[in-house]
Amino acid sequence: MKASPQDQRSLLDVADIDRRLVVANAQRTNPPQVARIHELQAQRQTQTHELTVRAGARDDIQAEIARVESDVNTARTRLERDEQRLTAASAKEAVALENEIASLRRRMSSLEDTELEAMERLEAAEAEVEQTRAAIAATNEEGARLSAEAKELVADATTAIEGLDRDRAAVLGRVPEALSTLYDRIARNGVGAGLFRESMCNACRVILTASDVATIRSAADDEVLFCPECGAILVRTEDSGL
Ligand SMILES: [Zn+2]
């Protein structure tokens, strides 16, 4: 195929646009934040489970304290009743009542120790619940921030793609249809065009053999050449060193 050196050079601009389109498309379909967002989703699931377990442990201690307090109240009521009865008791009754009062006092003292110990455990359990709540809030905050960043990146990429598509159509519209069709066909499966420079195809970055370079050197300026390695249209300019 024949094409003017100028039209062939335009293909290098299109190839550059295509390179930027690949980057923008990757950014749009898979912004870099996505992997971390997935990690955070899994992390939140673990943390939510941990919160359920820790809140359950705290509730158990609260129930335990309520039981102990109820036992203390029962013992106190009986103690008060016994002390009341003691004022009008016979000597024989008094001995039995005094024994019971002493026993109730020991029981109350023991229950109060139990309650104190449970209160300490409750404090630790509540701290663990708060710690998990704070961790979940931090996870949610990072997730929201990254999602917003990703959304912005996708929007930017979409705008960039629209602009690049317009530029691409404009540049390709200025070259003969046969050449633009040829370019598009090659670009569907790889790089459409590359600069030939210092014996190298810049589309695939392979150094061509001396005999390939000799063929390129002897070709007419308006002859469309192809890289023998990658099939891209090989474009010659004054930078080619021919
Ligand atoms: Zn090549």
User: Where exactly are the structural domains of the chain?
Assistant: 5-26+173-235, 32-148
Mean pLDDT of 33-58: 97
How many residues in the chain?
A: 242
Which residue type occupies 188?
Answer: R
Q: DSSP E strands: which ranges in the chain?
A: 193-197, 200-201, 206-207, 225-226, 233-235
Judged against a pLDDT cut of 90, whether residue 117 lies above it is answered with: yes
What CATH architecture applies to the domain 32-148? Answer: Orthogonal Bundle (1.10)
Give me ligand 1 centre to Cα 208, in Å: 9
> Strand pairing partners for 117?
none
Alpha-carbon distances, residue 139 vs 22, 30, 229 (angstroms): 32, 21, 50
- How remote is the C-alpha of 36 from its chain's centroid? 2
- Over pLDDT 70: what percentage of the chain? 100
Give me ligand 1 centre to Cα 178, in Å: 21
Alpha-carbon distances, residue 79 vs 90, 94, 110 (angstroms): 18, 13, 15
Give me ligand 1 centre to Cα 188, in Å: 15
Q: Which residues surround ligand 1, an ion (CB under 5 A)?
A: 201, 203-204, 227, 229-230, 232
User: What digits encode the pLDDT tens for the residues 157-171?
Assistant: 999 999 999 999 999
State the pTM of this model.
0.70
Q: Kindly tell me the number of DSSP H helices and DSSP E strands found in the chain.
A: 5, 5
